[in-house]
């Protein structure tokens, strides 16, 4: 692709790529102690939280992978963004107050306050393993992307060279700058990614074969229902995105990612105030709701476009984004350079964040806790920098041997499936622990330790025995979808945690724990959930009874959801009234869930 770039495109690409590490390096000059290095001095404003959270969450697998799934599967991939709103609100109003009240650096430290130091250690090990899995995947898709960008030019690079470039680029500012440098670069990367995605979407929808976003919806209406791609809900036996899995297992994975995941929640812990943290998280939620439209829907439009131009079937899902750029973006105006810079920024955005969080866990939970309890500030920072280099070398090496750069599968889904073995036990321990005071430390340890083994057992039982039952196979498919497995895994993990807690004697320091750790009452949350569910039942009945149209139902659901938050809002400080923004975010989410049903 680079061989077709004009001078302006090349200049824009080079300037933007150089700006990222330079900004990170400049940010590193102010670092003085471990709190500055690992938590950015707890001084992040809401827009920095939003930019860093979004940049951490969204990477090249979203711009490339999600558009590719929109191209090959359809709009149902949007569940990965839309259903995150519920867990985002749980983080804001349930988990974040507990975390920030303790002023912890890591979520494993919270687990030590809530349970014991063994629970802290198990979480640290599981998170480092999960981060390693995600880092390996990020190196794979990033190197593959760079290879595509340079293909056919005099600077053509191999898969290995791409991995080395990503490692060197991200290390250039992460090693020295810590979280402060990562936040600065994440915010820049967020702006670049959004611009890149929106530009591609605008030019894609403006093609005469598509006729705009509503033209795409009109093309969909001309197809039989089973052939349409702009719909959120696929059958329960769908191999990739069953609707039953989206509202169970995928929702659980969102709960893990947004409430119990170190490398995302760490940004909120570094916010200047609780209000700044909440508004930043909610703002990142609004940014997430743009992805279904500029990424996934663009993938659906690409399917029509490729077919009309005799390219259908010749483009692999993970190559759809860059093929679309070549097809619809004019060369010579700087747009292609901006898009490629955004795509490259997306390649780096999650790598630097995961490296920073992994080194925070390794430094505070392993080095400071066990290896050198008397470590000075400078010793902790030095160890953190060494840990980053080691993680890069390990994950880059594993990416080289564990992934095929010519793979034709849906990369985004395979990464989600691989990481989901570790998460249900963690979710069970955090949720049971914050909602139930009698959760026992030893029960938490056993739950986290056993959950990955239970996950493998569930797959083996289903794929070897249960699938032979015709009714089960017709309902849930020939193989156990990882979303269904996550739901079953969490259900068993919660039962194990509660059952063992009841069997074991109460912890000796339970009174102390109740004084230190905040617990959340289900009574107030349950009341508002019941009201919300009751309203949804009314709208669904009126819709299915042909009393209301789908659009009116979507609108009423969105407005009524927003009003539930408005009722609880404090109007005295409207610009800092996070519940108004949370209500608007929830209302837009409900509109999308109904409108694209």
Distance set, CA 96 to CA 104, 133, 301, 397 (Å):
11, 26, 39, 36
pLDDT tens readout for residues 130-181? 888 888 888 887 787 777 666 665 667 888 888 888 888 777 777 776 767 7
C-alpha atoms less than 13 angstroms from C-alpha of 495 in its C-beta half-sphere:
7
Q: From CA 189, how far away is CA 173, in angstroms rounded? A: 14
Q: What torsion do the CA atoms of 502, 508, 512, 513 make, to the nearest 10 degrees?
A: -40
Contact 260, 433 (CB under 8 A): no
For 106, the 3-state DSSP assignment is: coil
Distance (Å, rounded) from C-alpha 266 to C-alpha 73?
33
Query: Per-residue confidence at 86, pLDDT binned at 50, 70, 90?
Result: very high
First to last CA, the chain: 38
Measured over the CA atoms of residue 287, residue 289, residue 294 and residue 296, the dihedral's sign is positive
The backbone region for 42, taken as left when phi is positive above 0, alpha when psi lies in -120 to 50, beta otherwise, is: left
pLDDT in tens, 30-83: 555 666 666 666 778 888 888 888 887 877 667 777 888 888 888 888 998 999
Q: Which pTM was predicted?
A: 0.86
Residue corresponding to tokens 């990739």: 240
Q: Which residues pair with 44 in a beta bridge?
A: 271
Q: What is the pLDDT of residues 423-435, one digit of tens each?
A: 999 999 999 999 8
Q: At what angle do helices 7-28 and 335-361 cross, to 10 degrees?
A: 20
Which residues 6+ apart lie within 8 Å of 313 measured at CB?
none
Could you tell me how far CA 185 lies from the centroid of its own chain?
Answer: 18
For 334-352, how does the pLDDT look when each residue is reduced to its tens digit (9 = 90+)?
Answer: 777 778 777 777 777 777 7
Give residue-wise pLDDT tens across range 186-226.
777 788 888 888 888 999 999 998 989 999 989 888 888 77
User: Which CA distances in Å does 344 have to 142, 200, 337?
Assistant: 8, 15, 10
pLDDT tens digits along 18-35 = 777 676 667 666 555 666
φ/ψ region of 569 (left if φ > 0, alpha if ψ in -120 to 50, else beta) reads: beta
Given a contact cutoff of 8 angstroms between Cβ atoms, the answer to whether 267 and 99 are in contact is no
**Cα–Cα dist 330/347, whole Å:** 23
- For the beta carbon of residue 563, count every other beta carbon within 10 angstroms: 12
Locate tokens 């707890």: which residue? 42
Quick check: 358 and 142 in contact, CB under 8 A? no
Biggest CA-to-CA distance, the chain: 72
In the DSSP assignment, the letter for residue 44 is: B
Q: For residue 371, what are its two tokens?
A: 């290896």
> H-type helices in 115-224, by residue range?
117-150, 159-205, 213-221
3-state secondary structure 248-272: HHHHHHHHHHHHCCHHHHHHHHCEC
């Amino acid at each position: 692709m680079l061989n077709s770039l004009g001078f302006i495109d090349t200049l824009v690409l080079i300037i933007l790529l150089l700006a990222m590490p330079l900004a990170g390096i400049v940010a590193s000059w102010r670092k003085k102690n471990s709190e500055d290095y690992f938590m950015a001095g707890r001084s992040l404003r809401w827009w920095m939280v939003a930019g860093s959270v979004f940049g951490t969450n969204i990477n090249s697998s979203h711009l490339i992978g999600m558009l590719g799934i929109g191209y090959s599967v359809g709009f149902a991939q949007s569940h990965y963004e839309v259903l995150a709103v519920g867990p985002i609100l749980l983080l804001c109003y349930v988990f974040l107050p507990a975390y920030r009240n303790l002023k912890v650096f890591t979520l494993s430290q919270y687990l030590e306050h809530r349970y014991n130091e063994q629970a802290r250690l198990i979480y640290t090990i599981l998170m480092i393993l999960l981060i390693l899995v995600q880092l390996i995947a990020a190196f794979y898709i990033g190197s593959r992307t760079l290879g595509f960008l340079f293909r056919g030019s005099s600077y053509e690079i191999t898969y290995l060279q791409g991995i080395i470039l990503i490692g060197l680029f991200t290390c250039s500012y992460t090693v020295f700058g810590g979280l402060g440098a990562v936040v600065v670069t994440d915010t820049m990367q967020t702006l670049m990614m959004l611009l890149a995605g929106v530009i591609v979407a605008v030019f894609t929808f403006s093609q005469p074969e598509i006729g705009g976003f509503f033209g795409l919806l009109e093309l969909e209406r001309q197809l039989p229902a089973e052939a349409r791609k702009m719909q959120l809900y696929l059958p329960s036996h769908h191999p990739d995105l069953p609707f039953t899995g989206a509202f169970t297992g995928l929702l659980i994975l969102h709960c893990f990612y947004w409430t119990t995941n170190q490398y995302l929640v760490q940004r909120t812990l570094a916010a200047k105030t609780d209000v700044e943290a909440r508004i930043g998280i909610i703002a990142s939620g609004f940014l997430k709701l743009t992805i279904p439209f500029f990424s996934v829907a663009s993938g659906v439009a690409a399917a029509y476009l490729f077919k009309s131009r005799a390219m259908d079937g010749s483009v692999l899902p993970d190559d759809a984004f860059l093929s679309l750029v070549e097809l619809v973006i004019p060369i010579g105006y700087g747009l292609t350079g901006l898009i490629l810079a955004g795509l490259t920024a997306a390649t780096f955005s999650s790598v630097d964040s995961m490296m920073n969080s992994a080194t925070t866990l390794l430094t505070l939970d392993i080095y400071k806790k066990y290896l050198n309890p008397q470590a000075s500030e400078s010793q902790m920072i030095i160890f953190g920098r060494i840990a980053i280099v080691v993680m890069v070398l390990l994950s880059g090496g594993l990416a080289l041997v564990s992934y095929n750069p010519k793979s034709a599968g849906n990369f985004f889904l395979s990464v989600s499936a691989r990481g989901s073995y570790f998460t249900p036990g963690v979710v069970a321990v955090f949720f049971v622990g914050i909602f139930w005071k009698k959760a026992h430390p030893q029960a938490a340890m056993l739950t986290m330790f056993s959950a990955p083994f239970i996950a493998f057992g569930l797959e083996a039982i289903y794929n070897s025995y249960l699938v032979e039952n015709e009714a089960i196979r017709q309902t849930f498919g020939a193989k156990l979808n990882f979303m269904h497995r996550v739901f079953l895994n969490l259900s068993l993990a919660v039962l194990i945690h509660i059952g063992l807690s009841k069997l074991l004697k109460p912890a000796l320091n339970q009174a102390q724990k109740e004084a230190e750790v905040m617990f959340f009452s289900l009574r107030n949350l349950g009341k508002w959930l019941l009201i919300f569910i009751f309203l949804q039942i009314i709208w669904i009945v009126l819709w299915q009874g042909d009393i209301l149209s789908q659009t009116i139902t979507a609108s009423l659901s969105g407005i009524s959801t927003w009003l539930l938050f408005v009722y609880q809002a404090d109007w005295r400080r409207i610009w800092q009234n996070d519940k108004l923004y949370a209500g608007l975010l929830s209302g837009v989410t409900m509109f999308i869930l109904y409108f694209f049903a």
